Structure formats: structure tokens, C-alpha cells
Amino acid sequence: MTPERLELLLRDGTAVVARPLTPADRAYVADGYRLLSPEARYQRFWVRQGEIIGDAMLNRLLTDQLPKHAIWTVFDPTREGFPGLGAASFWRSESDPTDAEISVTVMDADQGRGVATLLLSILWLVAFRCGIETFTGYTMPENTRALRWMRNTGAAGEWDGYNAVFRWKLADLDAIPATPAGADLAARLAELSPRML
């Protein structure tokens, strides 16, 4: 059974909490979107301005639909103001139930701290338990930071003419490379597997 919350440490020793998001988190998710920089919004949502996180999107994101959909957040409970560090979700493909599209958003100031890799490892284990075999991630070709992270965590990439498309094979742990991000992912999977499977 998926735990309701996980108390963890980031690489720098910061104590954080990871948990699924729920309908009660509507304001939290909306605030997180508003606090992203225009560049981060563009790279993640392909818009620089505007309120794209409306009621319909919040209803869709925050409805518990396992094994079709999962969304988790990582936050620092001691942080003043907005405590969120990031969130990630997957949506299972309707045409191929062994595949799910994953998306990850990390707040600007918290990038480079291992938050995305932590979220990837949590969703990896949740999805694997649901019978999902592959994660597919999309990003803009100019988002070099995301491209590098995807490669460094073991995703194989290709160009579809519009997006960079990366895929992780969830059962193939040998494909995780010996990069710092890959080592972080492998360690997180080993750490969390007994708590989540």
C-alpha cells in the first residue's frame, strides 16, 4: 500500500516530507504555479504568463485515480512562506496501459538539490506497483537542464520533430547510468522500495 507520507532527507541534509496531493491542496498547487518564474512556466507549461491552473485543471490533477494517475509533492515543513519544493505526476496512457507520461516541476530556487530525482523515484515505485513499465517525458529542446537530467537518470531520448521525448524502462535498473543523478536515483529507489512496494 502506498504510504500517506514519507519523511526524507535531501542530499544537503534538509528534512523534507513527500506525500500525495489531494483536493485539499488546491490553493497550494495554484500558489506554486504563480511562484514559478516566467522562464520556468514556459519550460514546463509552454506559456510565460496567464493563469493556466484553473478549476478544471486542478480538479483533474488532484483527483485520486490510481492506477491511472498519481501526483506527489515534496515540501519543507520548516520553511516560512510557501513550503513547496516541487511536485510530479504521471498519467497512464489510454492506448498503452504499460506506459505513463511523467511530468516534474521544481521551484526555481530548489533546482539542483535532488528534488526532481526524489520525485522521479517515488513515482517510479508507485507506477511500477501499478503495472506501468515505461515512463515517457517530454521537454522543449532548448530546456538543456531537463534534457541533461533525463539522460543522466537513464532515460533514452529522441526528437519527434517538436519535442524531445525521453523514456525510462522501470524494470531495467541496469540502464541507470553511473552519473551523480543516476547514482542518486538508484540510491533513492533502494531506500524507498521497502517502504513503498
What CATH code is carried by the domain that includes residue 129?
3.40.630.30
Domain assignment present for 61: yes
pTM of the model: 0.92
Count how many domains the chain has: 1
Q: What is the pLDDT along the chain (197 residues), one digit of tens a residue?
A: 577 899 999 999 999 999 999 999 999 998 998 888 888 776 666 555 555 566 777 888 888 789 999 999 999 999 999 999 999 999 999 999 999 999 999 999 999 999 999 999 999 999 999 999 999 999 888 888 999 999 999 999 988 878 899 999 999 999 999 999 999 999 999 999 999 86
User: Could you give the CA distance from residue 72 to residue 84 in angstroms, rounded to a whole number?
Assistant: 11
Residue 11 maps to a domain: yes
What is the residue type of 115? V
Structural domain contains residue 67: yes
92's CB contacts (< 8 A; 6+ apart) are 67, 68, 69, 99, 100, 130, 132
Residue 158 forms part of a structural domain: yes
Q: Is residue 94 one of the residues assigned to a domain? A: yes
Is 1 among the domain residues? no
Question: Over the stretch 135-190, which tens digit does the pLDDT of each residue have?
Answer: 999 988 888 899 999 999 999 998 887 889 999 999 999 999 999 999 999 999 99
Burial of 146 (0-12, 13-18, 19+ CB in 10 A): buried
The H-assigned helical ranges of 46-96 are: 55-61
Least Cα distance to 146 among 169, 172, 164 occurs for 164
Is 155 a member of any domain?
A: yes
- What burial class does residue 155 get, using C-beta atoms within 10 Å of its C-beta: 0-12 exposed, 13-18 middle, 19+ buried? buried
User: Domain of 165?
Assistant: 6-196
- Whether 44 is in a domain gets the answer yes
